[in-house]
């Protein structure tokens, strides 16, 4: 590839990185909201079960089962954020490699 092709590739990687970077705050908000919702749902379920006479250990286990949907939503939100973060790192690494090749080509 010549230097012009590398410059185009760098521009493409920068655009990809920009898209992922714009997506991160949205995913972070979703992740935080899901974690908070699960924590609240779990506490409400535990308090309800404890007020109905369940032991602390049993109430915890039952509450975790009752809040399964919130747990799944939380794990999904965390997973989406982690995938986006890995994608961001991969694009950053690709961009770094393209820039190194560009520098090498521009000095030869």
pLDDT digits (tens, 9 = 90+) for 17-27: 999 999 999 99
Number of domains in the chain: 1
The residue range of the domain holding 55 is: 3-106
Distance (Å, rounded) from C-alpha 48 to C-alpha 31?
Answer: 26
Distance (Å, rounded) from C-alpha 51 to C-alpha 25?
Answer: 39
What pLDDT shows up at residue 2?
82
- Our CA dihedral for 28, 31, 36, 41, rounded to 10 degrees, sits at 160
Q: pLDDT per residue over 29-76, tens digit each?
A: 999 999 999 999 999 999 999 999 999 999 999 999 999 999 999 999
Note if the pTM is more than 0.85.
no
């Amino acid at each position: 590839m010549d230097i012009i092709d590398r410059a185009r590739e760098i521009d493409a990687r920068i655009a990809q990185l920009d898209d992922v970077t714009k997506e991160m705050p949205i995913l972070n908000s979703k992740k935080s909201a899901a974690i908070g919702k699960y924590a609240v749902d779990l506490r409400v379920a535990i308090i309800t079960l404890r007020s109905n006479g369940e032991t602390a250990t049993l109430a915890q286990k039952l509450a975790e089962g009752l809040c399964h949907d919130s747990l799944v939503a939380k794990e999904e939100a965390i997973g989406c954020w982690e995938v986006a973060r890995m994608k961001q790192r991969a694009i950053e690494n690709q961009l770094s490699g393209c820039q190194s090749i560009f520098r090498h080509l521009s000095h030869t």
